[in-house]
Amino acid sequence: MKTDVWQRIDALSNDLWDLALRIHANPELGFQEEKAVAWLTETLERGGFRVERGVGGLPTAFRAVHPAEKPGPRIAILAEYDALPELGHACGHNLIASIAVGAALGLAPFKEKLPGTLFVIGTPAEEGGGGKIKLIQAGVFKNIDAAMMVHPSDQTVVDRGSLAITEVKIEFHGKAAHASSEPEKGINALDAVIQTFVGLNALRQHIKDGARIHGIITHGGVKPNIVPEYAAALFYVRAAENSYRDELVGKLRRCAEGAALATGASLTFTKVGHEYKAIRPNKTMAQVFAKYLRELGYPPEEPQGWMGSTDMGDVSWEVPAIHPYIRIGVGEIPGHSREFAAAAKSEGARQAMIAAAKALAATCIELWTDPEVFQKVQAEFRQGRGS
């Protein structure tokens, strides 16, 4: 069965690569991925899947199910397809989408002989919009027994987590005045933002390794001769544990409160955008996936560097899930860079896309046909789920 499925994926490789390149050439931001969704859903429908568009109330989300639904594990392969502002597919989501479709279409002709149910779930806006969280809240992941996807990278890493993240908007309101003739009559909101960064920098020695607090100034005034009456900044707060992420949000708040007190500006501190949980890796499922990666010539590597954040973390608290990475090029290629965007349409990316699709498909087959492995996956998920 595995050999037949892999041969089928090889036969589809040109079409899958064309799909990945089309998405790459037409980058769309979160919740605006209309072209990508149209191409993905049309491809799945031609492959025999029933497709429901706009699931969870999200116009660019979809759920495809193979009609051979049988008793057994209900497995979802997840697709991402949103791009980054200005950089396009510098996170390689064009590949994530084609990997998911490739695995599903490889399995499709043989699904009648296999137990369980196969879904492909299209999840928009991973880059800050939290599409998967909205789908969780809408019940799309109810009755799913396992979820999986593969992310492109400059490393092949299987058993790796992610950082919990909270996005925070900090706004200061001061008082405008002439910055030269009567500055003493103003309250400088920009100074409050700058003091927040100064206080934050003083914290860096005293936070855990791997935790991150990083931000940008989004509004700093309108003209140099006017004391800024409004200034704002946007911060991401990340940590390996959900609880420590929350603790760091409190520390950032106190830095901002101190800046408000020092300058006389008033503070608005708001959690906005995405708030993702840290991934709970499922080692049992990851080991199954890793076995097939090795067979395909992509042996897992020792992780280098720290982690990013993903709304797949929230999925992993709902169902057993894996979010492995596969190498798409030689050497270091920083994520969210123009170099990574170029790598996401390279020959190395094509080869990795096919290997990842094959490994996902083989993992599905094993979960469907080996009850002992599936029960271990479920038992690991249940253990400590409430921690």
Check whether 304 has a pLDDT greater than 90.
Answer: no
- Environment class of 35 (CB within 10 Å of its CB; exposed 0-12, middle 13-18, buried 19+): middle
**C-alpha dihedral, 247 to 249 to 251 to 252, nearest 10°:** 170
Based on the fold, state whether residues 137 and 170 are members of the same structural domain: no
Q: Would you say residue 387 lies in a domain?
A: no
Based on the fold, state whether residues 270 and 304 are members of the same structural domain: no
Task: Give the CATH number for residue 183.
Answer: 3.30.70.360
Whole-number average pLDDT of the chain: 95
Based on the fold, state whether residues 309 and 216 are members of the same structural domain: no
Measured between alpha carbons, how far is 280 from 59 in angstroms, rounded to an integer?
29
pLDDT band at 387 (very low <50, low <70, confident <90, very high): very low
pLDDT band at 72 (very low <50, low <70, confident <90, very high): very high
Q: Which of 276, 311, 338 is the last residue of a domain?
A: 276
Based on the fold, state whether residues 34 and 149 are members of the same structural domain: yes
Lowest mean pLDDT among 211-225, 229-243, 259-273, 301-315: 301-315
What single-letter DSSP state applies at residue 277? P
pLDDT of res. 161: 80
Check whether 113 has a pLDDT greater than 70.
Answer: yes
Q: Which of 237, 253, 276 is the last residue of a domain?
A: 276
Check whether 40 has a pLDDT greater than 80.
Answer: yes
Residue 179: domain span: 164-276
Based on the fold, state whether residues 256 and 343 are members of the same structural domain: no
Share of the chain above pLDDT 90, in %: 90
| Residue 335 and residue 314 in contact, taking contact as beta carbons nearer than 8 Å | no
Q: What is the pTM of this model?
A: 0.85
Q: Which of 244, 276, 308 is the last residue of a domain?
A: 276
Based on the fold, state whether residues 225 and 299 are members of the same structural domain: no
Q: Is 215 helix (H, G, I), strand (E, B) or coil?
A: strand
Task: Give the CATH number for residue 52.
Answer: 3.40.630.10
